[in-house]
Amino acid sequence: MKELLLPLISGLFFLIGIIIYRLIKRKKELTIISMSCAMIIIIGLIVGDLIPHLIEINNYNLILFVIIGLVFITLLDKIVPHHHHEHHENDEKTKEHQEHLKHIGIITILALLLHNYVEGMALYGVAIENFKSGILMCLGISLHNLPFGFQIASYNAKEKNKILVILLVLSGLFGGITIYLFGNISHFVEGIIIAITLGMILHILIFELSKEVFDNIKKKETFYGIIIGIILLIIINLI
């Protein structure tokens, strides 16, 4: 049962990131840093984790589920209330901008929830084979989740969507419990979940997050966030 603690701990790092954001006074700067940092982390997630997993499974039918993930998140993007707007000076203070960030936050949480569920299954599977390896994997996932906590907090400045955040924090544990109760799932089913996640995250990266980052591309905070994201990716890959 101690193995189940690891996916729980990794999920708690979303919450730790949120708490750190709440304690920081200069939220405007941290918001810009967190978005650019998260963009780099998401690119690393896609290139270094999701795509290699799909290639390893070696089933071209999974491309269909990537498209399904894209279509699903696009439909969700239309359903979740949001406001398109042009960026202006002191934009972060406007209600329109806050609603836009909240919208991005909701769909980001949903995509990460599905991904973290799969990671929880993988982490528990590694831990029951070799607990030390599980600890190292947990550390890598935790460092990965921390900047997403910053990002989620910056998108939900008024502490809304608490239920979604709780589900996100516990999603890794739910993944571990799934393997504990039912055993390992087939590679193809795992591939379906990863492929759908990839489609959802690609949408967030291309149509949501990158726009926010490039609108602030001339600000020094964007540069800091990119550097922090690169450093975190290097640390994660060295573990």
Q: How many residues comprise the chain?
A: 239
Are the C-beta atoms of residues 45 and 201 closer than 8 Å to each other? yes
Sign of the torsion angle spanned by Cα atoms 103, 104, 110, 113: negative
> What does residue 97 show for φ and ψ, rounded to 5 degrees?
-65, -40
Q: Are 65 and 196 in contact (CB under 8 A)?
A: yes
pLDDT of residue 102: 66
CA dist 99 and 74 (Å) reads 18
Q: Can you read off the two tokens belonging to residue 223?
A: 């540069």
| pLDDT confidence of residue 220 | 93
DSSP characters over 196-229: HHHHHHHHIIIIIIHHHHHHTTTSHHHHHHHHHH
Token output for 6: 């690891």
The pLDDT value given to residue 27: 78
Distance in angstroms (rounded) separating the CA atoms of residues 80 and 100: 10
> How many other CB atoms are found less than 10 A from the CB of residue 137?
21
What residue type is 63 in one-letter code? I
pLDDT at residue 213 in the model: 87
Strands (E), 56-179: none
pLDDT of the residue at 86? 47
Tell me the pLDDT of the chain (239 aa) as tens digits.
789 999 999 999 999 988 988 888 887 888 788 888 888 888 888 888 889 989 998 889 999 999 998 998 888 767 765 544 444 445 455 555 556 566 677 778 888 888 889 889 989 988 988 888 789 888 888 888 888 888 788 765 555 578 888 999 999 999 999 999 988 788 888 889 889 888 888 888 888 778 878 888 889 999 999 999 899 888 877 76
Q: Quick check: 40 and 153 in contact, CB under 8 A?
A: no
What's the confidence (pLDDT) of residue 160? 56
**Which pLDDT score, from 0 to 100, does residue 164 have?**
86
How distant is the alpha carbon of residue 13 from its chain centre?
11
